[in-house]
Structure 1
Amino acid sequence: MTTNPQALVLFAILALAFGLVAGYFIRKHLAEAKIATAEAEAKKIVDDAIRQAEAKKREAILESKEETLRFRNEVEKEYKERRSELQRLERRLIQKEETLDRKTEANEKKEETLQRKEVEIEKTKNEINRILERQLSELERISGLTSEEARQILLADIEKEIQYDAALMIKEAENKAKEEADKRARDIISLAIQRCAADHVAEATVAVVPLPNDEMKGRIIGREGRNIRSFETLTGIDLIIDDTPEAVIVSGFDPIRREVARVALERLISDGRIHPARIEEMVEKAQKDVDTQIREAGEQATFETGVHGLHPELVKLLGRLKFRTSYGQNVLKHSIEVCHLAGLMASELGIDMQIAKRAGLLHDIGKAVDHEVEGPHVAIGVNLCQKYKENPEVIHAVAAHHGDEEPKTIEAVLVQAADAVSAARPGARRETLESYIKRLQKLEEIANSFDGVEKSFAIQAGREIRIMVKPDKVDDIAAVKIVREIAKRIENELDYPGQIKVVIIRETRVVEYAK
C-alpha cells in the first residue's frame, strides 16, 4: 500500500491548525479565569481598604471629639481661675478703698486737732511774750541795766567758758590725733615692710676669675708684660696676679669697668689666644655685652616695679645701678625695694601710688653717674630728672629724700621713709670694721659717763646696750631717769641705722656664810 505524500502534508497542516485553534481557546479560557480571580481579589482588597478607612475615620472623629472636650475643660478651668483671681483682686481693692477712707477721715480729724492746738499755742506764745516783757522790765528796774547790757555781759561769760572748753577739746583732739597718727604710721610702715622682702647682697671692689691652670698666668702677663699692660690700659682696671692657685683678681672701684674687665678676661682665657689685638677685640665685645646687660637690667626693674613711660636714658641709668653699691648694698635692688615700700604705703594712705613708686625707683638715679659728674647724688638725680622731663612731684621727692629740701608732699615723705627703712634693714648695709668698733666704744663711753654706772656692755651688734648700776647709789626711780638720759645722749651724739635698746640692770645681793 502506497502513501500519498501530499495527503500526509495536508494532514499535518490540518493537525497543526487544529492544535493552534485548540491552544488559543485553552489559553483564552485560562486567562479569563485568572482575570476573574484577580478582579475578585482586587475587589476584596478595595472592600477591605474601604472598611479600614471607615474605621480610621471613626477613630479620628472620636479622638477629635475627645481633644475638643479636653481643651474645652481646660479653657473652662482657666476661666474659673481667672475669674476667682479677679474676684479676689476686687475684694482687695474694696478693702483698700475702705482703709483709705478711714485714714482720710482720721487725717481730717488730726488736721482739725492740729489747727486747734496751733491756735492754743499761738495764744500761749503771746502770753509768754507778754510775761517775758514784764519780767525784763522788772529785771531792768531792779538791776539798773538795760537788756542789751545784760546780754553783752552774759555773752562775755559764755564766750569765756566756750573758749576754755574749746581749748580743752582741741588739746584732747590733738593728742588723740597724734596717737592715732603715730599708730597708723607704725601700722602702715610695718605692713609695707612685711609685704616687701628684698634680698641683700654685699658687693666688693674685687672679682676673682678662675684659671684652668697656673700656666695661664704667664700667658696673661705676656712677653715683658705687654698683655697685662694692654689689658689694664684698655679697661682701666688692675689685674692682681699673685701666688693664689689658679685664680686672678680683677680690682677696681668702678663696678662697670670691673665687670667689663671680668667678662673680657674670662673670654680671653676661654679662647686661649691672648695678645694685644685680641685683648682689644674682646674688651670691645665685653663692653657691648655689659651695655646690653645694663639696658636689660633697667627694663627688668621697670617691669618688676610696674613703673612705665620712663625716658630710655633713665632706663639705662637704672641699669647702671646694678653695678653700683652703697655701704655694700646694691643700689638697684635698694631702689626697687624703696619703690615697692613707697607704693605699698601710698596705697594704704589712698594717695597717688604711681607717683610714689616712680619717685622711689628714681630717688638714687644720681648714683649712676656720680663717679663722672661732680656734686652730691641728690643734686645729680634732680638734674637728670629735670633733663628728661619727669613729673615735678617726682623731682621734688628725689630732691627731698635726704632732707636737703623740706618735703612738701606726702609722696616725698613716703619716699624718705621708705629709703630709711630699706637702708636700716638688718644686713642691708655693712659698716667698716673701724667705724663699727668706734660706734660700740662710743656707746659704752656714753653709758659709763653717768654717775652710778658700774659697767656697760654693747651687744647685739651695737643694737642693744646693757648697763650695770651700783645699787647703793642708784635706786629704782633714779634708774628710770638715767636710762632716759642715756637714750637721749645716744640719739644726739651717734649716727646709727634702726634703733638701740638701752637696758639698766640694778641688782642687790645679800650674802651670809653659815659657819
Structure 2
Amino acid sequence: MDIIYAVAALVIGVIGTYFVVGGKQKQAGAVQDESHKREAEKILAEAKLTAEKTVSEAKLKAEKTFNQFKEKQEAFKQEKIKESRAKFQRFKDEFKQEKADELVELKEKRQALKEEAASMKEERTGFNAERAEIAKQQKALVQEEQKLNERNKTLDQELALARKKQEELDTQHDRFTSELEKIAGLSQADAKARLLEEVKNKTANEALNLKRELLEEAKTDAAKDARKVVINTIQRMCAEMTIENTVSVFPLDNDNVKGQIIGREGRNIRAIESATGAELVVDDTPETIVISSFDPIRREIARLSLKRLVSDGRIHPARVEEVVNKVKKELKQQIQEIGQKTVVQLDIHGLPSELVRYVGRMRFRSSYGQNLLKHSIETAHLCATMAAEMGLNKKQIKLAKRAGLLHDIGKVAEEDTELSHALYGKALCEKLKENPIVVNAVGAHHDEIEMNNIISPIVQACDAISGARPGARREILDGYINRIKELETIAKKNQGVTSAFAMQAGRELRVIVEADKVSDQHADELSFKISQEIQESMQYPGQIKVMVIREKRAVAFAR
C-alpha cells in the first residue's frame, strides 16, 4: 500500500508540474519558452528524485512491517501450541485420576462383596443351628403335649369327683341351714340383715374414729408451722383498731337551712334526689339530714353536692343540676386518682385502668363497718408478708399482694348481678385478662370454686385475719344472734345432749351431755361430729371450739 501511495504521488506531481509549466508558457509567451523548459525539466528531475526516494522508503517500511507480522504470527503460533499441550496434559491427568478413583472404588466394592459373602456364610451356619434347635424344641413340645393330655384326663376325673362332693356338701349345708333356722327362730335373710346392720354400725364408728385420729394427727403435724407463719404475719402487720365508716349523715349549722333544701313545695329536695339518685330524709332530728342510698357512690355525690349548695346558699333546681354534674366529674377523677395512688403505694404494676377505677371505688364502700379499700390494702400487705414467711419467691409474693388487693373487687360492681362478690370479681378479672393465679385466688377466697395454686389459700387466710381481728368490724346484732342460736341448735339435736351454750361471742360452744347415755369415748366422738357439722353448714370468722362436758353426780341424803 505504501508503494501504491508513492507512485500515485509521483504521477500527481508530474501531472501538476506539467500543467504548471504549460500555463506559465502560455502566459510568458513564446519568448520565454526556452527558459521555462529548462525550469520544467529541473522540476521534473526533482520530482523523479522525490518519487524514487518515497518509493524506496515505502519499500523499507513494508519489509519492516512484514517482518514484524511474521514474528507476531510465529509467537501466536507458539503460544497456541503451548496452550494445547497444557490442555492435553490436564485432560490426561484428569483421565488418570478418574481411572485411579474407579480402581479404588472397584477394590472397595470387591472387598465389601467378600465381607458380605462371609457374613452370609456365617448367617447360614447360624440358621442351620437354629433350625436344629427348633426341631429339638418341637420334639420336646410334642412330648409335653402328650403329658398334658394325660394330666387333663386325670383332672377331668378329679373334677367329676369334686362336683359330686360339692353336691353332697350343698345338700348338707341346706339341711344344716334349715335346722339352724328352726333353732334360732330367724330366717337366713333376717339373720343376714341383722348381721350386716351390726357390722355397718361398728364400721361407721370405727371409720369416724379413724377420720378423727387422722385429722388430729395431721393438725398436730401442721400446727406448729402454721401457727408460726400466722403469728409472724400478724405481728409484722400494724393496722388500725377501728376503721372509718362511710358517711351517711349530713350535719347542718342550723335548722333554717332545711327549709332552703326542701324548697317551695319540695321542688329543691326532689331535684337533688332526682339528680343524685339518693334519698334525703329530713325529720325532726336537730341540725341533721340523713342521706339514704344502696349505692355508696351516689350517697357520696349527694353529700358533696349538699355541702356545696349549703355553703353557696343558692339552692334551686337549675343550680342543683349544675352542682351535681360538676361533683360527678370531680368524684370520677378522684376515684381514679385514689386507685392510682393505692397501686403505687403497694408497688403493683401493670394493673388495667378499669381495675384501678374499681380499686378507687372501694374507698366509698364498707363491709360490717370496715372500709373496703383499707381492708383490701391490709389484706394485700398480709398476703405479701405470709408469702414471704412461707419462703415463696419474689414473683409469687407480688402475685399474692396483687390478689389480696383485688379479692373483694366484686363488692363494688357497677351493675346488678346474681353472682356472689367472689364469683363476680373472678369474672371481672378474667374479662380484663388478669393473671390466672390472681383470678383463681379472687374466686376461691370463700371456697366457691376449687383452689389450684398456693396463693389462693394465702388470700383466704389473710382475708379472715383482716376481718376477724378485734376492732376491725362491727357485726349486725341480728346476724350475731342468729349465729349463736344456730350453734346451739346444731349441738342440741344430737342424742344425749341436755343443753348447749355459745360463749365468748360465739368462739366457744359448751355442750352438756347426760352421763348415763353418753360414755367417755362417745363424748370424744360427739365433739368431733358437732365440729364437722358446724364447719359444713355455717359461715363464721376464725374458729369455734367445741367442748363436750360429761359429769356424773351421785346424790344421797342422811336423815
* Range of TM-score over shorter length: 0.5 to 0.7
Q: 1:315 is matched by which residue type in structure 2?
A: V
Cα distance in 2, alignment partners of residues 380 and 485 from structure 1: 34
Deviation at 1:319, TM superposition (A): 0.6
- Out of 314, 322, 332, the position equivalent to 1:281 is 322
**Cα deviation per residue 1:48-76 (whole Å; 9 max; x = unaligned)?**
xxxxxxxxxxxxxxxxxxxxxxxxxxxxx
2:236 aligned residue: 195
Choose from 354, 357, 366 the match for 2:410: 366
CA contact (8 A) 2:232 2:389 kept: no
SS at match of 2:505: helix
Query: Deviation of residue 465 (structure 1)?
Result: 1.9
Q: Describe the SS at the equivalent of 1:239.
A: strand
Instruction: Name the amino acid aligned to 2:409.
Output: I
Q: 2:224 aligns with which of 183, 189, 205?
A: 183
Instruction: Indicate how the Cα distance of structure 1 residues 465 and 358 shifts in structure 2: closer, same or farther if over 3 A, else same.
Output: same
The structure 2 residue matched to 1:265, chosen from 286, 306, 325, is 306
Please state how far the C-alpha of 1:274 moved relative to its aligned partner: 1.2
**Per the alignment, in what secondary structure is the counterpart of residue 273 of structure 1?**
coil
Unaligned runs of 5+ in 2: 1-214
Q: Taking structure 1 as reference, are residues 493 and 400 closer, same or farther at Cα in structure 2, changes over 3 Å only?
A: closer
- Secondary structure class of the residue paired with 2:290: strand
- Asked whether the 8 Å contact 2:492–2:499 carries over to 1, the reply is yes
- Deviation of 1:205 after TM superposition, in Å, equals 7.5
Classify the secondary structure of the residue corresponding to 1:308.
Answer: coil
CA contact (8 A) 2:503 2:510 kept: yes
SS of the residue corresponding to residue 461 of structure 1 reads coil
Contact 2:246 2:371 in 1 (8 A): no
- 2:500 match: secondary structure: strand
Aligned ranges 1:50-449 → 2 under 5 Å: 180-199=221-240, 207-351=248-392, 352-371=396-415, 375-449=419-493
1:161 counterpart residue number: none
Deviations 1:439-483 (A, max 9, x none): 212222222233443332212221112233344544544433332
Q: 1:503 to 1:412 in 2, by over 3 A?
A: closer
User: Which residue of 2 is the match for residue 482 of structure 1?
Assistant: 526
Q: Which amino acid aligns with 1:217?
A: K
> CA separation in 1, counterparts of 2:457 and 2:372?
20
Please give the alpha-carbon distance, in whole angstroms, between the structure 2 residues aligned to 1:228 and 1:413: 49
TM-score (norm 2): 0.55
Compared with structure 1, are the counterparts of its residues 349 and 205 closer, same or farther at alpha carbon in structure 2 (3 Å cutoff)? closer
The normalised TM-score by structure 1 is 0.59
433-442 vs 315-324, which moves further: 433-442
Q: Secondary structure at the match of 1:412?
A: helix
Q: Which has the larger radius of gyration?
A: 2
Q: What amino acid is the match of 2:503?
A: I
Q: Once the 2 structures are TM-superposed, how far is the Cα of residue 255 of structure 1 from its aligned partner? A: 0.2
Amino acid at match of 1:189: V
C-alpha contact 2:488 2:502 (8 A) present in aligned 1: yes
Q: Given the superposition, is the C-alpha separation of residues 488 and 301 from structure 1 closer, same or farther in structure 2, using an over 3 Å criterion?
A: same
Query: One-letter code of the match for 2:451?
Result: P
Q: Is the 8 A contact 1:370 1:380 kept in 2?
A: no
Task: Give me the whole-angstrom Cα distance separating, in 1, the residues matched to 2:409 and 2:544.
Answer: 31
Structure 1 residue identity aligned to 2:525: K
Asked whether the 8 Å contact 1:370–1:377 carries over to 2, the reply is no
- The RMSD of aligned alpha carbons is 3.1
Name the residue aligned to 1:494.
538
The verdict on how the C-alpha distance between 1:201 and 1:265 changes in structure 2, with shifts beyond 3 A counting, is farther
Which deviations, in whole Å up to 9, do the C-alpha atoms of 1:140-173 show, x marking residues without a partner? xxxxxxxxxxxxxxxxxxxxxxxxxxxxxxxxxx
1:500 CA displacement: 1.2
What is the alpha-carbon distance in structure 1 between the residues aligned to residue 217 and residue 478 of structure 2? 45
- Tell me the amino acid that sits aligned with residue 323 of structure 2: M
Superposed CA deviations along residues 314-338 of structure 1, whole A, max 9, x for unmatched, are 2221010111233443221222122
Q: What CA deviation, in whole Å up to 9, does each residue of 1:419-454 have, x standing for no partner?
A: 333333345444443332222122222222334433
Amino acid at match of 1:415: V
- Report % sequence identity: 53
Distance in 1 of aligned mates of 2:498 and 2:524: 16
Classify 1:512/1:441 alpha carbon distance in 2 versus 1 (closer, same or farther; 3 Å): same
The answer as to whether partners of 1:459 and 1:465 remain within 8 angstroms in 2 is yes
One-letter code of the match for 1:363?
Answer: H
Which region of structure 1 is more displaced relative to structure 2, 307-316 or 356-365? Answer: 307-316
Mapped partners of 2:435, 2:537: distance in 1: 38
SS at match of 1:462: coil
The corresponding residue for 1:49 is none
Q: Letter of the 1:187 partner, please give it.
A: K
